[in-house]
């Protein structure tokens, strides 16, 4: 038996759910399927990230990331207020602890101004301590519009609204797409729970984005690598040491923001993440291994070029992943009186990063078309913050490319 829909969205993370939501709003009579291989939505990157509503200060002016993060943040906060989703615009500080970091701190500040981020201000060492009494630095930036949110609850609400608006639209869980067949102007998705036919398909596969694209015969100049991020939760006795969000000045040579402190919506405080190459794309434990995932990564020449460029940084990240003491040492750069017993239980998330053939991380969002399909090939952080703006951008693309009416 084949189930038929007007549009199918493959991938039940927050970008897929937001895209489905935006399409349903624009085309209320259309039947949509949101297809997810796991037993619930937001089970990978969305449900295991740090829950930060990013401001948009880090991203290249004029880039997709800069535009969609700033616009998406404002829309996300309005959505959270409207639907009573747990969130808090608590603000954050970016702290320089060494004079060598000051030029990049200035660079970030200038980008924030260029990107139209509201509530960005330079702060002194004294002001850092006023805002965060346990944090020591030589200079910083305060970003008032940064916040925290429950991204899993946001995704679930988007799915709920999708089915509520159009009874013919469905969320299909436990449906892993195994092959893709184009026939007679439509596309047949063969899944682990039966076949699904749709006129148009939008792929938001996250960690599996490149594999889904290859199944649809898209020629790629990139591959997806997985990076695990380890977090510690501060103990009950240590929570008072962090009142907002505290970030270091990121290393400009590496595309991650560095280990930071995040006050979560449930009251916990997390420290992390690091960034460690994984041998299993959806592996959340340090010893997880998958032969196919590892082979795919190591057969790609760009991976070796990436390792050659960043081996020192990568080695340091691995050492820290297996040493709580080294992890603590990194955290103490921001909060010097943090102790080993302050770090309680540990968890991890995995993020997808698109890597070019030259061994460079693809920094911006990457979306491509082929046949009757749109492929969101790269949607790294701040994709969760920007989800509604990304969904609207894909909706516009679909309207133009598919000539939807």
Domains of the chain: 1-86+149-221+364-405 (3.50.50.60)
- Per-residue confidence (pLDDT) for residue 224, from 0 to 100: 96
Check: CB of residue 222 under 8 Å from CB of residue 213: no
Bond preceding residue 382 cis, omega within 30 of 0: yes
Share of residues in the chain with pLDDT > 90 (%)? 90
CA 404 centroid distance within chain: 29
Among residues 94, 126, 125, 90, the alpha carbon closest in space to that of 107 is found at 94
DSSP summary character for residue 170: E
Q: Residues with Cβ < 8 Å from 79, sequence gap 6 or more?
A: 85, 154, 388
In 3D space, the residue among 5, 6, 9 whose CA is nearest the CA of residue 374 turns out to be: 9
Q: What is the pLDDT of residue 251?
A: 82
pLDDT in the model for residue 187: 94
For 95-134, write each residue's pLDDT tens digit. Answer: 999 999 999 999 999 999 999 999 999 999 999 999 999 9
Handedness of CA 207, 211, 216, 217 (dihedral sign): positive
Which helix (H) or strand (E) segment holds residue 42: the answer is none
What local confidence, expressed as pLDDT, does residue 35 receive? 98
Which tokens hold the place of 132? 């965060």
Q: Give the closest residue to 252 by CA, choosing from 125, 100, 69, 117.
A: 100
Pair of tokens at residue 405: 């009416």
What backbone torsions phi and psi does residue 74 show, to the nearest 5 degrees? -65, -40
Q: Which residue's entry shows tokens 């017993």?
A: 341
Question: Which alpha helices (DSSP H) does 237-358 contain, by range?
Answer: 291-299, 301-321, 324-331
In this predicted structure, what is the pLDDT of residue 405?
Answer: 72
Reported as type and span, the H/E element at residue 207 is none
DSSP letter (8 states) at residue 189: E
371-384 per-position pLDDT tens digit: 999 999 999 999 99
Cα distance between residue 344 and residue 238, in whole Å: 10
Residue ranges of E strands in 45-116:
52-53, 87-88, 92-96
pLDDT of residue 255: 65
Tell me the average confidence (pLDDT) per consecutive run of 10 residues in the chain, 405 residues long. 92 98 97 98 94 96 95 98 98 97 97 97 98 97 98 98 96 98 91 96 97 95 94 95 95 79 94 93 94 96 94 88 93 96 92 94 92 95 97 96 86
* Cα(405)–Cα(393) distance, integer angstroms: 17
> Using DSSP, how many helices (H) and how many strands (E) does the chain show?
10, 20
∠ CA 108-109-115, nearest 5°, is 85
Nearest-10 Cα torsion for 340, 343, 344, 350:
-130
How many Cβ atoms are within 10 Å of 373's Cβ, its own excluded? Answer: 24
Query: What is the per-residue burial (b if ≥16 Cβ within 10 Å, else e) of 3-30?
Result: bebbbbbbbbbbbbbbbbbbbbeebeeb
Q: Which helix (H) or strand (E) holds 368?
A: strand 366-370
């Amino acid at each position: 038996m084949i189930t038929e829909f007007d549009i199918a969205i493959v991938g039940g993370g927050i970008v897929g759910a937001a895209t489905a939501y935006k399409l349903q709003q624009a085309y209320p009579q259309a039947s949509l399927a949101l297809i997810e291989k796991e037993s619930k939505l937001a089970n990978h990157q969305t449900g295991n990230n740090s829950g930060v509503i990013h401001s948009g200060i880090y991203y290249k002016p004029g880039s997709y990331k800069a535009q969609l993060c700033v616009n998406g943040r404002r829309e996300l906060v309005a959505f959270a207020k409207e639907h009573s989703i747990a969130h808090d615009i608590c603000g954050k500080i970016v702290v320089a602890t060494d004079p060598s970091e000051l030029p990049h701190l200035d660079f970030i500040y200038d980008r924030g101004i260029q990107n139209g981020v509201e509530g960005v201000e330079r702060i002194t060492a004294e002001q850092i301590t006023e805002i965060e009494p346990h944090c020591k630095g030589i200079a910083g930036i305060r970003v008032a519009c940064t916040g925290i949110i429950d991204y899993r609850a946001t995704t679930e609400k988007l799915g709920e609204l999708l089915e509520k608006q159009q009874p013919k639209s469905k969320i299909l869980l436990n449906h892993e797409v195994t092959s893709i067949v184009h026939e007679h102007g439509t596309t047949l998705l063969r899944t682990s729970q039966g076949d699904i036919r749709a006129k148009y398909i939008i792929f938001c596969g996250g960690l599996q984005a490149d594999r889904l694209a290859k199944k649809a015969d898209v020629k790629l100049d990139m591959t997806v690598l997985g990076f695990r991020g380890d977090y510690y939760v501060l103990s009950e006795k240590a929570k008072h040491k962090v009142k907002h969000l505290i970030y270091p000045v990121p290393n400009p040579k590496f595309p991650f923001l560095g280990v930071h402190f995040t006050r979560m919506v449930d009251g916990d405080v997390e420290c992390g993440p690091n960034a460690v190459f994984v041998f299993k794309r959806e592996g959340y434990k340090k010893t997880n291994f998958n032969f196919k995932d590892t082979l795919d990564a190591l057969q790609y020449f760009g991976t070796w070029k990436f390792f050659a460029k960043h081996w020192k940084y990568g080695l340091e990240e691995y050492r820290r992943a297996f040493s709580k003491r080294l992890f603590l040492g990194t955290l103490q750069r921001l909060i010097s009186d943090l102790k080993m017993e302050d770090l309680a239980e540990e968890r991890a998330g995995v993020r997808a990063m698109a890597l070019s053939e030259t061994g460079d991380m693809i920094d911006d969002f990457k979306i491509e078309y082929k046949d009757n399909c749109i492929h969101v090939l790269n949607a790294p952080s701040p994709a969760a913050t920007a989800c509604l703006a990304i969904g609207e951008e894909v909706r516009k693309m679909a309207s133009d490319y598919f000539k939807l009416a």
